[in-house]
Amino acid sequence: MRSNILVLVLAAILLSGVMPAQAEHEWEHRYAIEGKVLSPDGEVMRWMTVEIDCSEDATDSSLCGNNKERDDSTGFSGNYELILHIHSGDHGMKIVLDVDGQKFEHIIDLQGADGQPEEADRYVTDDLQLDSDPGFFHTLAASFLLVALIVGSIAGLVVKMRGPKSSTESRSTKSRSSSGDFIDCPHCSARLKPRNAEAHMLKIHHVRGYEIPEEDA
């Protein structure tokens, strides 16, 4: 029993040392670039893809092994975010971002203004302003997606507002529909189904050949 307790205590001590070290290891290898993609006149550009350019003379080749396939789309907001795998020795290296064929150079700064590497230095903002508009087809596609998003939101709102009928309303409707299947006897207070009206008039009121009035038929 004592040996089991000792094992658990030792495991807890080891884990307490490993967890902070693992968290520190993670931020020391993470580098996040976020920002907006802007048109030449400063408007946000929606649904633009931002990717790492690993062609010749672009991003430093040592960075491409872990980051070549990483990209992000600006979506509706015009914002992008790239989470890259960067080591402490990569300070000062060059990353080239590609947006619709236009290139943007970004120099990795892991030391900040005080010259000391900190976790906050690994989260940077870099807005990318295009030199030229991406063209008619991108504008058309972005407009189509925007309209589809608006229509979808409105349709979802309408469905949510209408919702399913409540049980009380359903019972009320059913009762009204059922009551419409009966007619009033002209000689008493009885409520009759149309198929029973003639028999009721003959048996109770001794009226032969009774015909239901057209307004009750």
Domain shared by 111 and 128, yes or no: yes
CA 16 to centroid of chain Cα atoms: 37
Q: What pLDDT is stored for residue 4 in this prediction? A: 54
**64 vs 178, higher pLDDT:** 64
Print the domain residue range for 139: 135-165
Instruction: Provide the token pair at 128.
Output: 């990318």
Q: What pLDDT is stored for residue 135 in this prediction? A: 61
Domain shared by 98 and 153, yes or no: no
Check if the beta carbon of residue 58 is closer than 8 Å to that of residue 103.
yes
- Dihedral sign from CA coordinates of 166, 170, 172, 173: positive
Domain shared by 109 and 189, yes or no: no
How far apart are alpha carbons 142 and 76 in whole angstroms? 9
How far apart are alpha carbons 83 and 27 in whole angstroms? 11
Is 60 within the bounds of a domain? yes
Is 76 within the bounds of a domain? yes
Task: Say whether pLDDT at 83 is over 80.
Answer: yes
Q: What pLDDT is stored for residue 20 in this prediction? A: 44
**132 vs 138, higher pLDDT:** 132
Task: Say whether pLDDT at 165 is over 70.
Answer: no
Domain shared by 71 and 121, yes or no: yes
Q: Averaged over 34-41, what is the pLDDT?
A: 95
Is 114 within the bounds of a domain? yes
Domain shared by 104 and 160, yes or no: no
Instruction: Provide the token pair at 141.
Output: 């596609």
Q: What pLDDT is stored for residue 79 in this prediction? A: 96
Domain shared by 161 and 79, yes or no: no
Domain shared by 45 and 58, yes or no: yes
- Dihedral sign from CA coordinates of 119, 45, 128, 56: positive
Band (pLDDT 50/70/90 cuts) for residue 22 is very low
Band (pLDDT 50/70/90 cuts) for residue 185 is confident
Q: What pLDDT is stored for residue 163 in this prediction? A: 65
How far apart are alpha carbons 198 and 205 in whole angstroms? 10
**53 vs 189, higher pLDDT:** 53
How far apart are alpha carbons 51 and 27 in whole angstroms? 22
Domains held by the chain: number: 3
Among 56-60, 129-133, 175-179, the minimum mean pLDDT is found in 175-179
Check if the beta carbon of residue 64 is closer than 8 Å to that of residue 119.
no
Which of 78, 135, 130 shows the shortest CA–CA distance to 104?
130
Helices (H), 28-107: 61-67
How far apart are alpha carbons 125 and 110 in whole angstroms? 13
What SS3 class is residue 217? coil
**CATH number where 57 lies:** 2.60.40.10
Task: Say whether pLDDT at 178 is over 50.
Answer: no
